[in-house]
Structure 1
Amino acid sequence: MTAETPTPHDAYPQLTGDQIQVLSACGQWWPTVEGELLYQAGRPSQEFFVVLSGTVAVVDDHGGHERTYQLHGPGSFLGELGLREGQAAFLSAVVRAPGEVLVVGSAELRDLLVREPALGDLILRAYLLRRTLLAGMATGFRIIGSAFSPDTRRLLEFAARNRLPHRWIDLEKDTEAEALLRRVGVTPEETPVVVWHDDRVLRNPTNAELARVMGLRSDTPTEAVCDLLVVGAGPAGLAAAVYGASEGLATVVLEAVATGGQAGTSSRIENYLGFPAGISGTELAERAALQADRFGARITVPAEAARLEQRDGSHVVTLTDGATISAHTVVVATGARYRRLPAPGVERLEGAGVHYAATLWEARNCRMEPVAVVGGGNPAGQAALFLARQSPAVHLLVRGGDLTQSMSRYLIDRIERHPRIDVRVNTEVRQVAGSDRVESVLVQDNRTGERQVLAARALFVFIGAHPATSWLDAAVGLDPQGFIRTGQDVVDVPANLWRHLARAPLALETGLPGLFAVGDVRSGSVKRVASAVGEGATAVRQVHEHLRGVGSPGIRRHVTRVAMTRA
């Protein structure tokens, strides 16, 4: 069972009497009355509720029309992933039949889950599955905008990548759009807008503004210097965060878009050790983020690094919004950014059928329709197999002559046996056509020049990526492809920075002492999830070695506030 196929039994387990007794030790019993609101959509809930007697309904009351999603009886606990992460609630909880509930504060719950791992696993697993269920229920906030608007596509991508329950109301196609805009006092020209609970309107918010409203990001100015700053929250960055925080380092993680990185866009990772049935990239990222949070790491999304400099013996990272954060050590795990397909129509239809990820979020709009996948590597193969579950035809378009050059054998075997996957080698996309969404793809045989139009309602692009190192400028040495040099590959090391350390750069260290690079962004790295996780863990070992060498002040056990100051 994975988070992609949750069942009510898995998502809504019953607590035993012993488990309730354990929770009671750090909570209080409250009587309830019919109609009482335990928590409300649009507001963060600071409490964990267990129903002891009576019933509680979880409802969506957006726009004044109440819809019941789940009815909880004795032994059930309320909430979903947002409660654990301090996000605003996406649904409301209303008492239907009076009784009693057990109430545990969020801080007490956090401590309890560390002390009681079995109970913690039960609750966290249920929360992960409930978030997935919410994703398919068209609940949460509303994004109203045109498919042709780049800002609409930006908001949709951000919400999808961060697994924020939402519903897109297409300005041109959805009959509900006009009435909803009139009700909230917005004209079509002012879209895109985000409509939240009680008709609260965010007019074309930035990703950071939306994140703050949803509870993903909170900036608390402080002049503290953290022990470890991790830039990037892909597998390598999250591994560094988990190991750093668990070993007592005050750890802060910055992520520009969403946790998981490129791996987070994978529909299924089947060759990662310990998951014989595979695991989706989003579930792996969520589990790792929860693990890092449990140990005290602070993850901030979105927070994009813009510049790195050295100041008073510390590394100072400036963000695109002007905030700065100082750290004794930095692990760069910014990974790579997907490459865009250079074909007419692609840019215009990005987010309206052209996608660079194939998860439940992207696939939901093209179910039971033919699609095309571009690429010859593992991500393309995984996407083709995932999409073929519901699509009648998946065209896998490969520029090279065969799949063996860059795809794992286990994927090739499954693809060749699948009746709905049409593999086309020596094939390149020349044009993507469609008025308001992808309707067809013009392809060309790069040997014969023959062209053909393929019916496809979506195009998924996996043609590689380039390293996300532009923010580093000339601060560290890069190889000819733009990846960060580390260890013995570092050249032109500035002697004045290393003389007092009496050592050369460590294996994952860059030309700047205390600055490490891991994962896809590192020159010579193996582009696999397992190796990225290994590098993230190894980097923390080398961080400790560096801190001992420079006589760093004592480490702090937890990060209670984000170490950011405004420029």
Structure 2
Amino acid sequence: MGTATSSTASTRATQTRTGCRPVPAGPAWCPLVAVVASSSVHRASKRIVRVHGPRRFLGELGLLEGQPAFAGAVLAEDGEVLAVPVAALRRLVLGDPALGEQILRAYLIRRSLLIGGGSGFRIVGSCYSPDTRRLLQFAARNRLPHRLVDLEKDTQAEALLRRFGVGTSDTPVVVLRGTDVLRNPSNAELARRMGLRRADAQRGVLDLLVVGAGPAGLAAVVYGASDGLSVSSVDALAAGGQAATTSLIENYLGFPSGISGAELAERSLIQADKFGVRVAVPACARTLRRRDGDYVVGFDDGVEITARAVVIATGVHYRRLEVPGIAEFEGTSVHYAATLHEARTCGASPVGVVGGGNSAGQAAVFLAQGSPRVYLLVRGGDLTQNMSRYLVDQVERHPRVTVLPYNEVCGVVGGATLEALVVANNRTGERRELDVRALFVFIGAAPYTAWLSGLVALDEDGFVLTGADADDSRSDDGWQHVSRRPLVLETSRPGVFAVGDVRRGSVKRVASAVGEGAMAVRLVYEHLSQENMSARTRPLG
């Protein structure tokens, strides 16, 4: 079985998207098939990604997730291929532990290679435009193959716009295929065209609504749906949460060689889909309110979803680095994630990483694969205080990683792009410049809890109180017919639970988040059971 790059057109092999003759379906094994990736901007700029021979299979992750093809397949010599319907392919991947795992693993690798090679659609716009940055972030976080055609740097960018009849004032534009152009689309419009799912309009009262699709939220979805609950899942930006921006998780049980956050997210999405739940993206929760004993979550597009129980799994976001002049480099030279997308923009340039936790350490080791020098700036002096021991060892042993303890960024130098950092030793006051071309920031975190509308109790930093912490903050409203105290992951409102990083006291580890998501489902069952019993014994009128 092949594990090299291929295309999303494998089981749709009777059609080619390259303008060459179609691949005929048939019962025989194919001879040589060339997998061709197009830039989606220049028709002539097609390149052969991989040539597959007999007894190989084509395709990539988009086949399983309902996304459009990012590459095509062309017969390099006469022959036939076996075209497998997508539904049958999905049953095979989800139902055959051996062959299904081989196919899924190949598809995951192929998606990574397509991303790293800059295949897929094009975002044409200025790197300084907030909307361009928004689209780039959305595509990167949803692991969609794409490339930026920068109006500031690409000499052919304006000619391309003229070809499509688009003025610079209409940018950014997304060029999907041929002359299919989206003019400054919203995230929701791009998501729809890429096969991502939006939140459904109200379809009755659900047993459980999971808001947020990081590891904790995805675990709640998988366990809840597999146990028979009616479940819906939404996320404001992308599935995977902060974990999806992590290049390699090495201390997650069952993966001795490690697993990337992106792969963990993709596998979890496919597993959730197996049990009938597709995560709706983007769906930004705006309000939470109580109605007739249930909970109603309102979203930014006006959709409302009602559920008997809610799991809050909205996680946290890294805090911005407060340094004069740094904002103009955000999205181009300053990043708050370290994935293949961001690494591709750095090339073989020295970079800086700010932070002393696991995310910073993982980013430093990952970026050192392509960068000649990675400077890890840590405000304190002891990496082991916030970083796992195994990761500290990797950082300290890596020949291209330089740890700078007691150092903080106090200034930036550059014109169109970042050229250097001004750093200061917070013990001696000494300042110096570091020659770097990109900066990756992983400092502190703020929870996504503003949408809770004051309905559940938070601590002074905005994290959700649960269990015994929530008990002191609960009001009588909502608890009149509940003869118990808040359960361990329950908030100050009965039937509303919080899991993962958004919860005060969480461990901030992927394994812990997954465990909390699974545990929350058990507690939801307990809550629903008590609600049913209470409803039967509650006097009418």
Question: What TM-score do you get using the length of structure 2 for normalisation?
Answer: 0.91
Hey, what does 1:424 align to over in structure 2?
404
Output the CA distance in 2 between the equivalents of 1:151 and 1:56. Answer: 39
Task: Return the offset for 1:137.
Answer: 2.1
Whichever residue aligns with residue 515 of structure 2, its letter is G
Unaligned runs of 5+ in 1: 1-7, 14-26, 31-35, 42-47, 553-567
Output the CA distance in 2 between the equivalents of 1:223 and 1:413. Answer: 52
Whichever residue aligns with residue 3 of structure 2, its letter is D
Hey, what does 1:332 align to over in structure 2?
312
Matches within 5 A, 1:126-141: 126-141=106-121
Hey, what does 1:495 align to over in structure 2?
476
Output the CA distance in 2 between the equivalents of 1:433 and 1:376. Answer: 23
Equivalent residues of 1:114, 1:294 under 8 A apart: yes
Residue by residue over 1:441-484, the C-alpha shift from the partner in whole angstroms, topping out at 9 and shown as x without a partner, is 01111222221111100001011111110111211001111111
Output the CA distance in 2 between the equivalents of 1:348 and 1:138. Answer: 24
Equivalent residues of 2:201, 2:304 under 8 A apart: no
Task: Return the offset for 1:413.
Answer: 2.3
Task: Return the offset for 1:117.
Answer: 2.7
Matches within 5 A, 1:459-498: 459-490=439-470, 491-498=472-479
Residue by residue over 1:489-545, the C-alpha shift from the partner in whole angstroms, topping out at 9 and shown as x without a partner, is 112323342232322211111122211100011111111111111000000111111
Equivalent residues of 1:51, 1:75 under 8 A apart: no
Q: Larger deviation: 131-140 or 463-472?
A: 131-140
SS at match of 1:501: coil
SS at match of 1:321: coil
Is 1:529 the equivalent of 2:510? yes
Matches within 5 A, 1:100-499: 100-218=80-198, 220-490=200-470, 491-499=472-480
Hey, what does 1:64 align to over in structure 2?
43
Equivalent residues of 2:351, 2:438 under 8 A apart: yes
Task: Return the offset for 1:390.
Answer: 2.1
Hey, what does 2:493 align to over in structure 1?
512
Whichever residue aligns with residue 167 of structure 2, its letter is T
Equivalent residues of 1:230, 1:237 under 8 A apart: yes
Say how many residue pairs are matched.
Answer: 520
Task: Return the offset for 1:408.
Answer: 2.0
SS at match of 1:422: strand
- CA distance 1:462–1:49, shift in 2 (3 Å): farther
Whichever residue aligns with residue 457 of structure 1, its letter is R
Whichever residue aligns with residue 64 of structure 1, its letter is R
Residue by residue over 1:146-174, the C-alpha shift from the partner in whole angstroms, topping out at 9 and shown as x without a partner, is 12111111111111111111111111111
SS at match of 1:452: strand
- CA distance 1:51–1:334, shift in 2 (3 Å): farther
Task: Return the offset for 1:205.
Answer: 1.2
Hey, what does 1:38 align to over in structure 2?
15
SS at match of 2:383: coil
Equivalent residues of 2:5, 2:50 under 8 A apart: no
Task: Return the offset for 1:98.
Answer: 5.1
Residue by residue over 1:268-327, the C-alpha shift from the partner in whole angstroms, topping out at 9 and shown as x without a partner, is 211111122222111111111111111212211111111111223321111112111122
Whichever residue aligns with residue 294 of structure 2, its letter is S
Equivalent residues of 2:199, 2:234 under 8 A apart: no
Output the CA distance in 2 between the equivalents of 1:496 and 1:448. Answer: 55
SS at match of 2:481: helix
Output the CA distance in 1 between the equivalents of 2:28 and 2:428. Answer: 68
Output the CA distance in 1 between the equivalents of 2:99 and 2:242. Answer: 31
Q: Larger deviation: 142-151 or 418-427?
A: 418-427
SS at match of 2:409: strand
Equivalent residues of 2:202, 2:306 under 8 A apart: no
Whichever residue aligns with residue 226 of structure 1, its letter is L
Equivalent residues of 1:49, 1:77 under 8 A apart: no
Question: What TM-score do you get using the length of structure 1 for normalisation?
Answer: 0.87
Equivalent residues of 2:251, 2:258 under 8 A apart: yes
- CA distance 1:132–1:71, shift in 2 (3 Å): same
Residue by residue over 1:361-419, the C-alpha shift from the partner in whole angstroms, topping out at 9 and shown as x without a partner, is 11112132111111111111111111122212111111123323212222222222222
Equivalent residues of 2:378, 2:407 under 8 A apart: yes
SS at match of 2:480: helix
Q: Larger deviation: 104-113 or 328-337?
A: 104-113
Is 1:10 the equivalent of 2:3? yes
Output the CA distance in 1 between the equivalents of 2:323 and 2:157. Answer: 32
Output the CA distance in 1 between the equivalents of 2:296 and 2:97. Answer: 36
Output the CA distance in 2 between the equivalents of 1:311 and 1:289. Answer: 30
Structure ranking higher on relative contact order (CA contacts 8 Å, 6+ apart):
1
Q: Larger deviation: 198-207 or 217-226?
A: 217-226
Equivalent residues of 2:93, 2:104 under 8 A apart: no
Output the CA distance in 1 between the equivalents of 2:26 and 2:408. Answer: 55
Output the CA distance in 2 between the equivalents of 1:100 and 1:519. Answer: 50
Whichever residue aligns with residue 111 of structure 2, its letter is R
Hey, what does 2:22 align to over in structure 1?
none
Q: Larger deviation: 430-439 or 492-501?
A: 492-501
Is 1:52 the equivalent of 2:32? no
Task: Return the offset for 1:55.
Answer: 4.8
Output the CA distance in 1 between the equivalents of 2:396 and 2:76. Answer: 54
Output the CA distance in 2 between the equivalents of 1:88 and 1:49. Answer: 23
Whichever residue aligns with residue 536 of structure 1, its letter is G
- CA distance 1:123–1:322, shift in 2 (3 Å): same
Output the CA distance in 2 between the equivalents of 1:183 and 1:217. Answer: 31
Q: Larger deviation: 296-305 or 72-81?
A: 72-81
Equivalent residues of 1:51, 1:74 under 8 A apart: no
Unaligned runs of 5+ in 2: 19-24, 534-541
Hey, what does 2:537 align to over in structure 1?
none
Q: Larger deviation: 51-60 or 246-255?
A: 51-60
Percent identity, aligned pairs only, is: 60
SS at match of 1:479: coil
Output the CA distance in 2 between the equivalents of 1:188 and 1:459. Answer: 29
